[in-house]
Structures are given as structure tokens and as C-alpha cells.
Amino acid sequence: MMFASREDAGRRLGLRLKADGLQADLVLGLPRGGVVVAAEVACALRLPLDVLIVRKIGHPWQREFAVGALAEGGVVVLDEAVLRRDPVLRAEFEEIVEEEKERLRDYQARFHIHGALELAAKSVLLVDDGLATGATTEAAVLSAKKQGARRVIVAVPVGSPPAVERIQRVADEVIALCMDPGFDAVGRYYEVFSQTTDEEVLKLLERE
């Protein structure tokens, strides 16, 4: 399955969720690219749109390689198997976690233009542009639950089977339009997969 863009993926995901009769109180996109998909889903379901801030935690020596994630509310998800192998790595890793916590606070101030999230007793739909490892989405699910969400549903256009299984262990429901056993990268399923800017995210949130 291929998507022309994140907007196309969001429209198709929204149609599927609407046809399934999915019920939720609000849609939360994961910045940045996930917000573009979430905006189309929110439009299709006629639900309010907001963001739940997550940050990937990169390996100290190869920052693109994720070894964990953190989300607002003080949630930290770590790959302990990687960290146990090297005590020196753990010390450097803790510095990166502190850096990412600061960036997360900056994003909260920038993106929560409607005020702090109020998730207590709500059914929330978390949307991203895809599930690769599932680390950031797991952190987002745990964050929503920590903030009192009654039910947490995750919906994505595409995901790797291991990542979907990982999220099924923590979320109440997981919907993926495509699960490819040969999955290697989210961007491979999009004809256009350019980086989403902060300004684009803010424009989508300001439409609410």
C-alpha cells in the first residue's frame, strides 16, 4: 500500500475509522509528521485536534538510532537491553535524556496553543504517520494513560508487525491500514515524505 502524502494517508485512515464507527473524544497527533495525518482524521471524524508531545531518544554515538523515547507527563521508555551492555553508554545516555526533556518542554510551550491537555476520563485517538519501532508511540500511550485517559486507541497508516504487536500490549486498540512483514522504513510507503515544520503543525492546530 502506497500513500501520495501524509494528507492522503490521513484521509484514507479517517475514512476507514469513520466506516468502522470509531468513537473517541479527541484526536492527538504525534509531532511533527503525525499531526498532518491526525488533522485529516480529526476532520473526517469531526473531532477536536491536539498534540501529545513525544521525543525520540537517540543513541549517544548514532543519534538516528533510537534507544528509547519520552513523552509529556514524565514518561520515559528505554531499551534496557542496549544500556545494560555498556555502563559508559548509560552515563552518556542520561545526558541525552536531560537534553530531550528540555526540548520536550519547549515543544509543550510551542504546540499546546489551546492550553494543557485535559485527558481525564476521555477516550483519545493517537495518530502518527507510521510505526517503525513503536518506542515513541508506546511513550505516548503511557503518557495518555498517566494523564487519566479512559481509553487509548492508536491509528496509523502503516506499521511493522513487531511495532504493532508492541503497541497492542499497552493500548486498548490498534488500527493500521497496512502491516507489511517486509517493513523497513515509514517513508518507503509515501510518495512524498518531506520533513514537517513547526509552522505547518501550528497552522493545523490553529484551524481548531
What's the grid cell of residue 87? 555502563
CB 27 within 8 A of CB 45: yes
Is the pLDDT score of 141 beyond 70? yes
Q: What is the CA radius of gyration of the chain?
A: 16
Q: Which amino acid does the sequence have at 15?
A: L
Which percentage of the chain shows pLDDT scores above 70? 91
What is the average per-residue pLDDT within 117-140? 96
| Helix (H), strand (E), coil (C) string for 146-191 | HCCCCEEEEEEEEECHHHHHHHHCCCCEEEEEEECCCCCCHHHHEC
* Confidence category of residue 161, pLDDT binned at 50, 70, 90: very high
Task: Tell me the pLDDT of the chain averaged across its residues.
Answer: 92
Ordered domains of the chain (ranges, CATH): 6-53+113-206 (3.40.50.2020), 56-110 (no CATH)
What is the average per-residue pLDDT within 130-157? 96
Question: For position 64, what pLDDT does the model report?
Answer: 59
Residues 136, 132, 110, 7, CA torsion sign: negative
Question: Is residue 66 helix, strand or coil?
Answer: strand
pLDDT digits (tens, 9 = 90+) for 5-34: 999 999 999 999 999 999 999 999 999 999
Q: In whole angstroms, what is the distance from residue 64 CA to residue 84 CA? A: 20
Which percentage of the chain shows pLDDT scores above 90? 79
Q: In whole angstroms, what is the distance from residue 10 CA to residue 14 CA? A: 6
Pairing label, strands 151-159, 173-179: parallel
What is the average per-residue pLDDT within 156-179? 97
Q: In whole angstroms, what is the distance from residue 72 CA to residue 65 CA? A: 21
Angle of CA points 51, 30, 46, to nearest 5°: 55
Question: For position 8, what pLDDT does the model report?
Answer: 98
Question: For position 65, what pLDDT does the model report?
Answer: 62
Angle of CA points 186, 150, 165, to nearest 5°: 35
Question: For position 83, what pLDDT does the model report?
Answer: 65
Question: For position 61, what pLDDT does the model report?
Answer: 64
Is the pLDDT score of 1 beyond 90? no
Q: Which runs of consecutive H residues, i.e. helices, occur in 67-132? A: 80-84, 87-111
pLDDT digits (tens, 9 = 90+) for 49-97: 999 999 988 766 665 566 789 999 999 998 776 667 666 667 777 788 8
CA distances from 196 to 14, 30, 32, 132, 175 (A): 20, 12, 6, 18, 23
Q: Which amino acid does the sequence have at 30?
A: L
